[in-house]
Amino acid sequence: MVLLEVCIDSLEGLRAAVDGRAGRLEVCSRLDLDGLTPTDELLAASVASGIECFAMVRPRAGGFVYDADEVEQMIASIEHMRSAGAHGFVLGALTEARDVDRDVVRDLVAQAAQLPVTFHRAFDVVRDRTAALEVLVELGVKRVLTSGGAKNALDGKDVLGELVVQSRGRITIVAGGGVRVGNASEIVRASGVREIHSSTVFVPPRV
């Protein structure tokens, strides 16, 4: 069975995800800005739903290169949301050269303690996906949300398949970006992913 993670930024979205029996929630604010750290109200309601909740850790829109103050803000957000019951976190940080920022990601994973971390679609702009995936495995990241570097997961399905092969079960590849009921089966069949990510609620394919 393929797991559907539903991205929400409102109580209305939460209700739809609960009614649609989403397998996991990515809880954030401002989906119009590609997702920021969620409000306390939405996170609390999401945790109370009984569905596994991964909280976005992103202090601002824009790029993924963070200064020291922003990193401290992200660390504080993780501690706060861990105390609020989040089951995992979604985050990402890059260097100016578009590599994974090892130091920042290491510190954020450490702050998450034993809770799982997903590296978000900052992965789609790294300069070397193969190398970046190995760094994330080394740092203890559990999942990577990616479209395979394409504008959507359907266009990136072949690269997603390459990442699944490279991962060798060490890290989970989550297909995200334009995933809908009409293309989910093709994405899953072509890539071999077993987790998909969408802002739309639907029954995931049985492949």
Listing DSSP states for 158-200 in one string gives HHHHHHHHHHTTSSEEEEESS--TTTHHHHHHHH--SEEEESS
pTM for the model: 0.96
DSSP run (H or E) holding 91 = strand 88-91
In tens digits, the chain (207 residues) has pLDDT values of 899 999 999 999 999 999 999 999 999 999 999 999 999 999 999 999 999 999 999 999 999 999 999 999 999 999 999 999 999 999 999 999 999 999 999 999 999 999 999 999 999 999 999 999 999 999 999 999 999 999 999 999 999 999 999 999 999 999 999 999 999 999 999 999 999 999 999 999 987
Q: Which residues pair with 6 in a beta bridge?
A: 25, 198
